[in-house]
Chain A
Amino acid sequence: MNRKLAVISAALGFALSGTAIAQNEQFVPANFYWVGPYAPGGSGFGGGIIDYMAMINERDGGVNGVKLTWEKCETEYNNARGVECYERVKKHPPTGATVIHPLSTGITYSLIEKATADKIPVISMGYGRTSAADGRVFPYVFPLITTYWSQATVLIKFIGQKAGGMDKLKGKKIAFVYHDSAYGKEPIPVLTDMAKQYGYELIPLAVPHPGNEQQAQWLQIRQAKPDNVILWGWGVMNPTALKAAAKIGYPRDKIIGAWWSGAEEDVLPAGSAAKGYISAGFNAPGSEFAVMKDIKKFVYDKGKGEFEDKARFGSIYHTRGVVAGIVTIEAIRLAQGKFGKGKPITGEQMRWGIEHLNIDDKRLKELGATGLMPTIKVSCMDHEGSGLVKFQQWDGAKWKVITDWMEPDRKLVREKVESDAAQYAKEKGIQPRDCSKEAL
């Protein structure tokens, strides 16, 4: 009995001392999901961001000597659990949660107000509320790199290019097969506007969550015979759609997926039915980038790393998580440069860091991420910072990048962003910031 007590108290002492030394540390919460229908995305993205932070700790000893720490919290891609996780980690020592990556459009929406009140920045990279790109109304929310609306314009542009010019879109039919949720519905206004502009006919087809039942939708596609199908799916919905397309004989290279429909996990279960399928992406897959090699050398070769299945190393979701890691660490570095090197920063200081993020080609090269991600320049006005999208095609074994970075229709997107943000500001009684007066 005594021995047991001694062991427990020793363990307790160890646990307490573990928290007591948490002084020169920067805490980044890892609120992702490892179970449920969307686990491939959650665990892949989460694995990437954690692997990158582990690499920075091993290789550089942290950011200017400040070690990065993290704690995992299971959100199950569920709003209620996501909010619970957020509340759990937000006051974590020493300086609270630095930044949140909710990895769910729904959770992002739930956190917009809470995080703004708590002064914790939210990075919704490639998802979330598009109009948050207007940094005047949403100071703490950053839909970095690219938003759904930007992606929608690039998708239409890509289809136009393939058809031989935007004027060729006239009279074409484009089916839009989407996940019936906030995520799937977000691009509809932009696609409808562009339909008016370019004269194509949009056929929206909703697929209810989780999306493993799509016969009715693809039957409609067979009847309507659209020239292209835009697949805006998530999780199990993607391989199901590809299989259904194969069944009705719809050519797979006419199906263009969104970036949450374009990972290995989305095509492998469909087997040969996925060959030729094209999808968008804002990060490239692969383990040959210098930064990925570093992760392999400093993390995986030492027997650590997030993936037990090494085949997932360098997959789309993994590198997307690494991109999120790069963005996060660069912002921390920037904020430290202003508010004190070698000291942990607060959420408010982190916000400044993200807002002044400027990763150009030179910095990308230093980071070893050339080609992995586009350049980013964030400002008070523009919380998106890039908007660039690449396309890739599945050749049956791996994703092959088939285009260079493509520009979105910035004018159209920005107009809609500003009007939507203005409406939100009006509803909420928010006085938009004056960006010319922001401290540099």
Chain B
Amino acid sequence: MLYREAGQFKSTYAQDSQIFPLLQDRVAMVALLLVAFIVVPLVGDQYWLSAIITPFLVLSLAALGLNILTGYAGQLSLGTAAFMAIGAFMAYNAVLRIPGIPILAAFAIGGLCAAAVGLVFGLPSLRIKGLYLAVATLACQFFVLWAINRIGWLSNHSSSGVITAQSMAIFGFAIATPAAKYLLTLFVVVFMALAAKNLMRSETGRAFMAVRDMDVAASVIGIPMMKTKLLAFAISSFYCGVAGALYAYCYLGTVEPEAFTLDLSFRVLFMIIIGGVGSILGSFLGAAFITLFPIFLSVGSKWIETLLGIEMSHAVVSNTEAIIFGSLIILFLIVEPLGLARLWQVAKEKLRLWPFPH
């Protein structure tokens, strides 16, 4: 009844091509952003801010990066964690070696270095597709970690290979508290998500989708294959690189190359599969599911234990979490192969008709 477009007329092209054509959506989005920027830092306690919401945002950005490449441009990649590692380590080196560099510039350098490596490892995509391309990006994953482990310069010759993020400040304002780190992450993520959304609605984005749907047809209608595919790799790697820098600076504080193993690449891939391939919203929903759900399961199992007054062996609880999580993923994929974003879309369509389904 409330969610209806009746009476909302569009009289200009600009109105017609808005991201959120419905007034209700715009209001909801502004409210959400207000909550995220003002209410959350005020009411969120340290645990929520630094252990739940910040990692969720960082991984959303990584998932968004992968979604640009895999979801929009159709190039399967298993190198996400490697690009994140490049972002983290190069941002660290930028702060270390360029005195007085603003932190956001360091993040951007991290992202650009990741984009450069992404370009190189994107080259095989001009010849190979699908699973074979995934294997080529797998090489990137292993090569990058190997290089970070072996080249001492990258970790400033730290004996254990672990780097510690330097302290951050923007315009003299120190970013040290969880709330400040959260706000910085949120700002970067919102800005980059908006950029991605607009990019995907532009000519470039449409070229990506044309390549994804059928690359031969796309090249026939005059879309330059090399430029489009490499651009997709570069943009995607840039996003992942910035996510990696945020992971190091705003979340963990220290990173070792082992934080960016293939395991993380797969997790990000699962995020977009569960959230929705080829959807900006899907990246966020998927990241929320994959990062938050295990934590809720582990907290929830404690509530169940106290509530029922039984004591379960912790090993059983830990393993049950893994089993439940795995089964839910399978269930989701069977019930809704297009991901959570599609469920959201269906819900919205139903809501438009509610309460009169016909």
Contacts and interface: CB of A to CB of B under 8 A. Distances in A.
Nearest to A39: B315
A91 interface: yes
Nearest to A19: B306
Nearest to B165: A113
Interface of B: 46-47, 50-52, 55, 149, 159-162, 164, 166-167, 251-256, 258-259, 261, 295, 298-299, 302, 306-309, 313-315, 317-319, 321-322
Interface in A57-89: 71-74, 79-80, 83-84, 86-88
A84 B52 contact: yes
Interface in A222-251: none
Given A73-B298, A84-B51, A427-B164, A182 B258 contact: yes
Contacts of A84: 51-52, 55, 295
Contacts of B47: 87-88, 90-91
Contacts of B51: 83-84, 86-88
Contact of B149 (A72, A110, A183, A206): A206
A189 interface: yes
A188 interface: yes
Given A11-B306, A209-B258, 6 more contacts: A12-B307, A83-B50, A88-B47, A109-B164, A109-B254, A427-B164
B55 A129 contact: no
A113 B253 contact: yes
A105 interface: yes
12 contacts: A11-B306, A11-B307, A74-B314, A74-B318, A83-B252, A84-B55, A91-B47, A110-B252, A113-B164, A182-B161, A182-B162, A189-B159
Contacts of A330: none
B256 A181 contact: yes
Given A8-B307, A35-B322, A113 B254 contact: yes
Given A79-B259, A110-B253, A35 B166 contact: no
B164 A185 contact: no
Contact of B159 (A35, A43, A188, A427): A188
Given A14-B309, A88-B51, A181 B258 contact: yes
A187 to B, nearest CB: 8
B159 A420 contact: yes
Contacts of B55: 80, 84
A428 interface: yes
Contacts of A8: 307
Given A8-B307, A74-B314, A79-B252, A106 B164 contact: no
Contacts of A83: 50-51, 251-252
A114 interface: yes
A308 interface: yes
A272 B161 CA distance: 36
Nearest to A74: B318
A439 interface: no
A11 B306 CA distance: 8
A35 B317 CA distance: 10
